[in-house]
Amino acid sequence: MSSKKPPLSLVGPATTGVHPPRKLGLHGMSLWTRVMGDYRIEDVAGIEYLTQACAGEDRAETLAEAIERDGPVIYTGSGTPRTHPAIKDELACRAFVVRTLERLGINYEAVKSPGRPGRGVGISWEQLDDFKKDAD
């Protein structure tokens, strides 16, 4: 009988959580993973809201890449400078993402498990004694 234990592996929220109902790009999937890692969204409407926000993030990043490639100012055929037409669309996509995350309540602190405070929180007994001596 072998007493070897199987190797342990880390399991993150991306592997155990709910998967998006549609394919997302790199940026949208990154947002999905970060949100699902901090929040518990399991209802159909919440999942759809998050999916739409992630798709909006993908679109905003695609537009940002085009603006970066072409420059924020383009010139018409007559040589007149104009703001890149995708700038307003990129901003609209980013505003949509933020509004949608707010509707999901993502702008509030994530649900975290309660626990003991980390080391170094508060003051030590020695520091308290020093404080009392300085006050006298």
Cα separation, 131 vs 126, whole angstroms: 9
State percent of the chain over pLDDT 70. 76
Indicate if the pLDDT at residue 16 is higher than 50. Answer: no
pLDDT digits (tens, 9 = 90+) for 21-56: 999 999 999 999 999 998 888 899 999 999 999 999
Per residue in 45-63, is it b (16+ CB within 10 Å) or e — as a string? ebbebbbebbbbbbbbbbb
Indicate if the pLDDT at residue 112 is higher than 80. Answer: no
Taking the model in full, what pTM does it have?
0.66
What pLDDT is stored for residue 114 in this prediction? Answer: 55
